[in-house]
């Protein structure tokens, strides 16, 4: 069966029957456009990827309940939009909370220390990657190249880039799990500001 020729509705029906290839086809069909739309609202690549992964993981978890959806594209965009809004709301609440804290030197020292520890963990996680995975990760995250641009630059397939990034993100999530999403976001913002 040629899954790429099937409509979204047909793929949803197959997905409800636990057809993993239908899920992969839906992902390939919609992920890039969703990523681009999300990146315009939240220009932090790894956060966008995490939110996008959450949307598709939730789609897979609810696969048996999706029979009434007529427009999966709109459903995915709305799900991603709500996740972005939640992330932004949480970031604003976090920033507001920190704004209300007294800005004394002790608090600043603690923040600097935490940031240094986070940066060390991040550097350690980078060191755990193979040279090729590290190169691909930095081209994606630091230089903001798309997977296709990375593949073209390195003379490898997009699928190979995806595999390297998947492994790299797995290492990063494991190494930075103690800091949570807010710690990773703080590191991204700090790195952005220090450029």
The domain ranges of the chain are 3-90, 103-194
Range name among 3-7, 44-48, 98-102 with the lowest pLDDT average? 98-102
pLDDT at 51 over 70: yes
Dihedral sign for Cα 38, 44, 49, 52, please.
negative
Q: Which residue has the higher pLDDT, 54 or 187?
A: 54
Q: Which residue has the higher pLDDT, 11 or 169?
A: 11
- What are the phi and psi torsion angles at 43 (to 5°)? -80, 55
Domain 103-194: give its CATH code.
1.10.10.10
pLDDT at 182 over 70: no
Dihedral sign for Cα 89, 91, 93, 99, please.
negative
8 Å CB contact between 10 and 105: no
Q: What is the mean pLDDT of the chain?
A: 83
pLDDT at 53 over 70: yes
Q: Give pLDDT, residue 176.
A: 73
Q: pTM for this structure?
A: 0.50
Token pair, residue 124, equals: 């350690």
What percent of the chain shows pLDDT beyond 70? 83
Question: What confidence tier does 72 reach under pLDDT thresholds 50, 70, 90?
Answer: very high
pLDDT at 26 over 90: yes
Range name among 56-60, 148-152, 191-195 with the lowest pLDDT average? 191-195
Question: What confidence tier does 160 reach under pLDDT thresholds 50, 70, 90?
Answer: very high
> Comparing 3-90 with 103-194, is the CATH topology the same?
no
- Across the range 83-104, mean pLDDT stands at 72
Token pair, residue 87, equals: 């992330």
User: What span, in angstroms and rounded, lies between the C-alpha atoms of 156 and 165?
Assistant: 13
Domain 3-90: give its CATH code.
1.10.1740.10
């Amino acid at each position: 069966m040629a899954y790429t020729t099937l409509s979204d509705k047909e793929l949803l029906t197959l997905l409800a029957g636990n057809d993993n290839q239908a899920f992969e086809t839906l992902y390939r069909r919609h992920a890039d456009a969703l990523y681009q739309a999300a990146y315009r609202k939240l220009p932090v690549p790894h956060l966008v990827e995490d939110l996008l992964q959450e949307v598709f993981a939730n789609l897979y978890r609810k696969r048996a309940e999706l029979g009434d959806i007529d427009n999966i594209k709109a459903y995915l965009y709305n799900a991603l939009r709500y996740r972005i809004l939640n992330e932004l709301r949480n970031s604003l609440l976090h920033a507001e909370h920190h704004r209300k804290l007294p800005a004394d030197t002790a608090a600043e020292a603690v923040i600097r220390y935490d940031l240094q520890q986070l940066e060390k963990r991040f550097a350690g996680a980078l060191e755990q990657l193979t040279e090729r995975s590290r190169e691909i990760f930095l081209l994606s995250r630091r230089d903001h190249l798309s997977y296709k641009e990375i593949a073209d630059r390195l003379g490898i397939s997009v699928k190979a880039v995806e595999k390297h990034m998947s492994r790299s993100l797995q290492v990063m999530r494991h190494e930075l799990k103690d800091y949570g999403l807010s710690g990773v976001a703080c590191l991204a913002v700090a790195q952005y500001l220090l450029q």
